[in-house]
Amino acid sequence: MSAAPESGHVAPGTPATAPSVVTVHVWRVPNRKVPAALTRMATDRVRLRSTAGLQFARLLGTGRGTTFAIRDADLQRWALLASWDTEADAAAFERSTIVRGWGRLAEERWRLELVPLSAHGRWAGQEPFGTPVPRRWDGPVAAVTRARLSARKAVTFWQAVPPVASALQQHRAEGGLLAAFGVGEAPAGWQGTLSVWRSADDLRAFAYQGAAHVAAIRRTKETGWYAEELFARFGVARADGSLDGRDPLT
């Protein structure tokens, strides 16, 4: 998975209601601009704190999504995950110094607008996507997972990753998985994934029918890998730009 310093904002006393919209920005920068991207990861953390309508945000490093291990880290790709009070707040952010700054660095940009469908667990003690009422969604869906590993259980966790990563690649080859990559706030211990699926049925097939993932869920309960974990599902309301040279949703 990825390596990046933690960055984010949570408004004090934010209620556990679902945000109006969740956005994901993904920027790819050329090698020569990686140092500038690392600088922005630090400075934008401060700027986010004064952003109007922002409920929760994390600046994230990413991984290539092949093994979801630390060696997967991709220093050319960076992401911002954000929850918003209103769609107008999310739209106004597109004119911010943060987005404009990344736009000057990036050679490629992908942006998602997501509607929370379900969320379980916590991220740094918060419920960043509230407690949405589960409902049906026709069309592409996205999933965000995030876990803080228990230090004593990290070795057994990483031993269990390869079969799950292989299963993801099989779903990618079959067309159900449209995009997936690792996200993280630190070199080790805080691990997550962002995945986009052709449909909710495709996501459910991986999560609850695939032998590797079902076994990982069982071992999670038995072993207690995580000190904290979160799983959230979203409907993809809009996607702009490209990822690795193409629009994953087409």
Q: What is each CA distance from 5 to 58, 130, 225, in whole angstroms?
A: 10, 24, 22
Q: Please give the helix or strand (H or E) that residue 145 lies within, else none.
A: strand 141-149
How high is the pLDDT of residue 143? Answer: 94
d(CA 6, CA 59): 7
SS3 245: coil
How high is the pLDDT of residue 106? Answer: 98
d(CA 84, CA 177): 26
Pairing outcome for strands 8-10 and 73-84: unpaired
How high is the pLDDT of residue 69? Answer: 58
d(CA 45, CA 220): 32
SS3 208: helix
Top-level CATH class of 8-241? alpha beta
pTM for this model (two decimals): 0.81
> What digits encode the pLDDT tens for the residues 78-87?
999 999 999 9
Q: Higher-confidence residue: 164 or 247?
A: 247
Q: Please give the helix or strand (H or E) that residue 147 lies within, else none.
A: strand 141-149
